[in-house]
Amino acid sequence: MERHFQRDLEHLKSNVIKMGSMVEQNLTDALEAVLKNDAVLASKVISSDGKINQFEIEIDNGVVDLLALQQPVASDLRLILAIQKINNDLERIGDHAVNIAESAFRLVETPQDEPLLEIPNMSNIAKEMFQQALDAFIHLNAQLAQSVLESDDRIDALNRGMNAQVVRMIKKDPKSIEGGLELLRISRNLERVADLTTNIAEEVIFHTQARIVKHHAAEEKQKQ
């Protein structure tokens, strides 16, 4: 006999997936706005963030109801706890997409002869990571989630490289200072997106394998 609790839990999960798709769209649009100097697309991202925030509240309420009324245990409990954190991560990623869209706006207003340096590269990696993390959640695929964790180092390295590249760019052409600072902002936002995406992947592993991987928890415990 299927419990109505299972249907409620599926509904909650599908809401997270819907929210994830909205965040993915906003992230993609924000980066597209940067790459193509598209102010219209940037303003679309900014205006649709409210819907994501609404979703966050709805999912929060769903989590509280299921915890309070259904007393979930084991994998059901882990899924609900994972959803609560993923919900938070998604909302934050949505905020970073807005930050990137705001940078895109400012870049449209500044002279456009400076190169975007590593931004296109970082964008591709961050988008791919996000898609994989969401897929891993949809299909509860811990292996896929694991591969997201491994991509995070690439973004971190590129972000660190951006500092030196922007400094060089500004030294070469002091007029590029505004654009250069904007690129650093975007880079930092992408680095945060990748971190939050990593959190989502960690939550998928927690739910599917009951294993805590954040902060390299297993290795730390072994050391002790």
Partner 1 sequence: MNELKTKIRVENFNFYYDKKHALKNISMNVPEHRVTALIGPSGCGKSTFLRSLNRMNDLIEHTRCDGTVVVDNVNIYDEAIDVVELRKKVGMIFQRSNPFPKSIYDNVAYGPRINNIKEKKQLDEIVERSLIRAALWDEVKDDLSKSGLALSGGQQQRLCIARAVAVDPEILLMDEPASALDPLATTKIEELIHELKEKYTIVIVTHNMQQAARVSDFTAFFYMGEQIEFDETKKIFTMPGKKQTEDYITGRFG
CB of 57 to partner 1, least distance (A): 14
Q: Tell whether residue 3 is a contact of partner 1 (CB under 8 A).
A: yes
**Interface positions, 95-124, toward partner 1 (CB under 8 A):** none
CB-based burial, 3-26: b 16+ in 10 Å, e otherwise: eeeeeebeebbebbeebbebbbeb
- Cα atoms in the Cβ-side hemisphere of radius 13 Å centred on 221: 8
DSSP state of 114: S
Q: Tell whether residue 69 is a contact of partner 1 (CB under 8 A).
A: yes
**CB-based contacts of 88, cutoff 8 Å, min separation 6:** 56
Q: Tell whether residue 70 is a contact of partner 1 (CB under 8 A).
A: yes
Mapped onto helix, strand or coil, the DSSP state of residue 111 is coil
CB of 61 to partner 1, least distance (A): 9
Q: Tell whether residue 10 is a contact of partner 1 (CB under 8 A).
A: no
Q: Tell whether residue 1 is a contact of partner 1 (CB under 8 A).
A: yes
With contacts defined by CB under 8 A, name the span among 33-41, 69-77, 118-126, 138-146 that binds partner 1.
69-77
Rg (CA), the chain: 19
Q: Which of 45, 58, 44, 182 is nearest to 110 (CA)?
A: 182
Q: Tell whether residue 57 is a contact of partner 1 (CB under 8 A).
A: no
Residue pair 151/128 in contact (Cβ under 8 Å)? The answer is yes
Q: Tell whether residue 15 is a contact of partner 1 (CB under 8 A).
A: no
**Interface positions, 151-210, toward partner 1 (CB under 8 A):** none
CB of 75 to partner 1, least distance (A): 17
**Contact residues: partner 1, CB under 8 A:** 1-5, 64-65, 68-71
